[in-house]
Chains A and B, each alone.
Chain A
Amino acid sequence: MSTSQTRHFRAEKFDFWSFFFSGLTGLATLFIVGILVVILLNILVNGWSGLSWHFVSTIPKKDFFDVHTTGVLPMIVGTAFRVIVMTIFVIPVGVITAIYLTEYASNTSLITRVIRAAVNNLAGVPSIVFGLFGLGFFINFVGKNMDRLLHNPSAVWGQPALIWASLTLAVMTLPVVIVATEESLKAIPPGLREASLALGATKLETILRIVLPQALPGIMTGGILAVSRAAGEVAPILFTGVAYYMASLPSHLSDQFMDLGYHVFVLSTQSPNIEQTRPILYATVLVLLMLTFALNIVAILIRARVRKKLRALG
């Protein structure tokens, strides 16, 4: 009896399989982190030398594969332009939906459940399907009908344009804004709302003066995450507004535009000599990555603070 007990005790002290499997899961974690580090380092090391003020401030000539004269200014402007227009549409709609879900709706009603299911589904729709939707709805339906109503002699709105790309992206990023705003609204202590209502403020006044200012960091997180997601997306804009080359910067909502992500795609798949154009390709990727990552990190930091507050509330 004593021997079996000691054996049991020893087995507990050093269990080989426990050690082995814990190590294996640890390795899996390390491997994933490794992938990230390798991708980032590879891009940083190879892209850094190609980066210069000239590179980010030049409008390239028709042949943008030329290493010495090329630049990415129109792509940066195009990406920024489409993302800003998107924000104007997506933030109000997303924030109002989140306000409805947390402040007005009862959690058990059918309509709330349907809205939540729709938001979840919207988040899972493939980006290329958004592209098809933009083409089928915004361009072929809304745009063509606008042209007809305005009696435009040639297609102005019924063709790929910045506004359609932005609207397509706004539909795509709607769930991101809704989820982030909802999270921050839930983090506001109910006591604040009750105090405001007890002082005689109406529900709308409470939301506008008490709840929304408190939720601002969360709304900002949602906006930033949406922007960073949208800035890197290429598939939804393929048919809705991106141009292979444009001699001038986009200046109107019905213009087409050049785009950083699409430019990465063009440089990596259509280059006449991939070895020669490698430096500008890496530099372009670095610019895109710096843009999306800077935004992401800011969003993660704000979100961490919001979550801490949420946890403190219990």
Chain B
Amino acid sequence: MGIHRGHKARPMEWLAEKFIFLISLSAIAMVLLIFLFVAREALPIFFGETNTALIQPVIPTADIDKHSPAELQQYLELTPEQYTTMDKETIKTLMDVKIEALNDIPENFRNDPDAHINTTDWKYLLKAHQWTGYDKPEYIWQPVGQIKKFNIIPLFVGTLKITLIGLLFAVPLAVGAAIYVSQLARPKVREVVKPVIEMLSGIPSVVVGFFALLVMATVLQKIFGYQTRLNAFVAGIALGCAVIPVIFSIAEDALTSVPRAYTQAALALGASRWQTAWQIVLPAAIPGVFAATVLGFGRAIGETMIVLMVCSASVMSWSIFDSARSITTTIAAEMAEAVSGGPHYRILFLLGAMLFAATFISNMIGDLVIHRFKNKLEGKR
């Protein structure tokens, strides 16, 4: 762009340009770092390096020299840094403590087959398992107690359930409003309504959650008359409120960018305003509306505070009037009590990495569709 000047003649210019370029790479660096560092904490789960079996083979303290340092470090559940700072005596004491702890496990667990399995194995993370004390194989997320159950399927179901309710509520409203504001409303109405709807996105999600908890839950229960006051339905509707402005502004943008000539031609041929909007503008803008929905989905599955405040019990059920627990809620609620570096902590990071991947993909799809749509309207290839 512009006239090329010799770089060597102006070293400062050259330096400044390189510096600006380097700084502008920070956005890329951040995306990579996020993925790297969230995934890093989850890696041991991927490679099956964690073991949550309650009863593990005992290494007698006398055998300390027969095992490699790496084995001992893993056996004592220490990080490599911790291990290197300890002398042999400390490690011996720790091994004694470990044996005592294993001896202290209540008698009824000794014959329990569940006490011998590693619950962080992929098999137990994804598939239903016949737990002791249950009638049939079940999906259970229960990270506390002697035998910790980490089945992530209930969290997936909860997330999908709440997200779908939210989208079913938000998409028709937001797209309807987008059609109205961009095609049917008078310019004066448009100038007022647009910023007002955008203001809705300025309400912090913790405030939406608070409102859903105190006001919406009661009102909705009165209208629909269901049993539990706080359930996936309330969370979904509240989530919908938070997603509406996102879907609205993208859909409105797409509808507005349909060339004026289309509308004018349809009106000149005698179509009513509604017919023009419904049969000409909307079909032309449908990729944009689709992208708006996809981006709204990405926003909805990542929303934390609303769902955290409104419903949080993890139940494996598809009923919308039961409680549900989403992935985000689980991370937010349990990270504080998870031991840093422990299996629970790592699984929460694994969930975060999955969430990141899901929103990454939905953002990519949404952006790609919008990009193509705009190029097509502008007549580019």
Q: Which A residues are within 8 Å of any B CB, using their own CB? A: 12, 15, 17-19, 21-22, 24-29, 31-33, 35-36, 39, 42-43, 92-93, 96-97, 99-101, 104-106, 114-115, 117-133, 135-137, 140-141, 171, 174-175, 178, 197, 202-204, 228, 231-235, 238-239, 261-262, 264-265, 268-269, 274, 278, 281, 285, 288-289, 292-293, 296-297, 300, 304
Q: Are B202 and A228 in contact (CB under 8 A)?
A: yes
Q: Are A133 and B301 in contact (CB under 8 A)?
A: no
Q: Which residues of A contact B244 (CB under 8 A)?
A: 32, 35
- From B34-42, B49-57, B132-140, give the one contacting chain A: B34-42
For the complex, what is the distance from the CA of A35 to the CA of B16, rounded to whole Å?
A: 49
For the complex, what is the distance from the CA of A131 to the CA of B363, rounded to whole Å?
A: 19
Q: Are A104 and B17 in contact (CB under 8 A)?
A: yes
Q: Which residues of B contact A233 (CB under 8 A)?
A: 204-205
Indicate the size class of the contact surface on chain B. 35 or more
Q: Chain B 361-381 against A: per-residue CB contact (8 Å), 1 yes, 0 no? A: 011100100000000000000
Q: Which residues of B contact A24 (CB under 8 A)?
A: 176
Q: Which residues of A contact B174 (CB under 8 A)?
A: 28, 32
Q: Which 7 A-B pairs have the closest CB atoms?
A: A232-B204, A126-B302, A28-B176, A18-B274, A100-B24, A25-B180, A124-B363
Q: Are B27 and A97 in contact (CB under 8 A)?
A: yes
Q: Chain B 285-307 against A: per-residue CB contact (8 Å), 1 yes, 0 no? A: 00000000001001101111100
Q: Which residues of B contact A175 (CB under 8 A)?
A: 27
B335 adjacent to chain A (CB < 8 Å): yes
Q: Are B274 and A17 in contact (CB under 8 A)?
A: yes
B222 CB to nearest chain A CB (Å): 15
Q: Are B41 and A136 in contact (CB under 8 A)?
A: yes
Closest to B358 in A: A126
Q: Are A127 and B349 in contact (CB under 8 A)?
A: no
Q: Which residues of A contact B179 (CB under 8 A)?
A: 25
For the complex, what is the distance from the CA of A305 to the CA of B129, rounded to whole Å?
A: 61
B206 CB to nearest chain A CB (Å): 5
B198 adjacent to chain A (CB < 8 Å): yes
Q: Are A128 and B23 in contact (CB under 8 A)?
A: no
| Known interface pairs A29-B181, A128-B304, A202-B10; A121-B360 also in contact (CB < 8 Å) | yes
A-B contact count (CB 8 A): 263
| Pairs A–B under 8 Å by Cβ, sample size 21 | A25-B179, A29-B181, A32-B244, A36-B200, A43-B207, A100-B23, A124-B359, A124-B360, A126-B328, A127-B302, A128-B355, A133-B33, A140-B340, A171-B30, A203-B13, A231-B204, A232-B205, A235-B332, A261-B305, A269-B309, A292-B204
Q: Which B residues are within 8 Å of any A CB, using their own CB? A: 1-3, 5, 10, 12-13, 16-17, 20-21, 23-28, 30-31, 33-34, 37-38, 40-41, 172-174, 176-177, 179-181, 184-185, 193, 195-200, 202-211, 213-215, 241, 244, 248, 270, 272-275, 278, 295, 298-299, 301-305, 308-309, 328, 331-332, 335-336, 340, 348-349, 352, 355-356, 359-360, 362-364, 367
Q: Are A22 and B184 in contact (CB under 8 A)?
A: yes
Q: Which residues of B contact A288 (CB under 8 A)?
A: 204, 206-207
Q: Are A124 and B207 in contact (CB under 8 A)?
A: no
Q: Are A100 and B20 in contact (CB under 8 A)?
A: yes
Q: Which residues of B contact A131 (CB under 8 A)?
A: 331-332, 335
B261 CB to nearest chain A CB (Å): 17
For the complex, what is the distance from the CA of A239 to the CA of B202, rounded to whole Å?
A: 23
For the complex, what is the distance from the CA of A204 to the CA of B196, rounded to whole Å?
A: 39
For the complex, what is the distance from the CA of A178 to the CA of B27, rounded to whole Å?
A: 10
